Amino acid sequence: MTEASAPPVLSAASGESIAVVNTALDRRGLERLDLLLLTVEALAINGGEVMLWATQQLGYESLFPNRVELWKRRCTNPLRRSTRRTALTGEEIEALIRVICAMADRLYPMLHQLLWSREPSALQDQRWGKFDQRLRDLIGERMNLRRGSVQRLLETESSAPVQRQMVITLALASGPGGVDRLRASLQDPTP
């Protein structure tokens, strides 16, 4: 490959160069992307601030210079209470995927604890209960509760498998190969 045809790169604060991939997501992919960010917020204390810090660490200040801009991009989820019709660019989607993976890597010990079946079930129930409550609060605060799919996220029976799937997704998206795996998964067609 000649130098002229090489993909453009973003320089991360860590010095690592990040290839810009032209990522496109359909409606369902955007919903999952925002739900994963919401799951990260439910897991991390002061998650919104940590997420903004992660964008700066990854070198995405130009894309998300402040929390309002980050908030606007997240509002492209059609399930949001105040949704925005402006489409995300491929660069913005790629940046959000990398932010999710970086946060998942940081939160991996907590994800591992949630998925670890060899601990006492009472302790597990307590951990999942706290996570469930925080995620419900965030969904109730930010999502359009008139939408059927949002209501299903809040129903006790249907919410538990979705929450577990979100935690497993974050666990498998952490680590060095996680970005490619998560990107491919978000680009799945709607069945």
Residues that bind another protein (CB under 8 A): 108-109, 111-113, 115-118, 165, 168-169, 171-178, 180-185, 187-191
Calpha distance 29→120 (Å, rounded): 35
Q: Smallest distance from the beta carbon of 181 to another protein, in angstroms?
A: 5
Nearer to another protein, 154 or 172 (CB): 172
Element (H, E) at 172: helix 156-173
Q: Smallest distance from the beta carbon of 171 to another protein, in angstroms?
A: 4
Label each residue of 39-53 as H, E or C: HHHHHCCCHHHHHHH
Nearer to another protein, 25 or 150 (CB): 25
Q: Smallest distance from the beta carbon of 44 to another protein, in angstroms?
A: 18
Nearer to another protein, 59 or 178 (CB): 178
Nearer to another protein, 23 or 77 (CB): 23
Amino acid at 111: L
Nearer to another protein, 8 or 189 (CB): 189
Q: Smallest distance from the beta carbon of 11 to another protein, in angstroms?
A: 19
Calpha distance 34→30 (Å, rounded): 6
Calpha distance 100→39 (Å, rounded): 10
Q: Smallest distance from the beta carbon of 36 to another protein, in angstroms?
A: 11
Nearer to another protein, 44 or 70 (CB): 44
Q: Smallest distance from the beta carbon of 186 to another protein, in angstroms?
A: 8
Query: Virtual CA dihedral for 44, 174, 95, 4, nearest 10 degrees?
Result: 160
Directed axis angle between helix 156-173 and helix 178-186, to 10°? 140
Calpha distance 121→131 (Å, rounded): 15
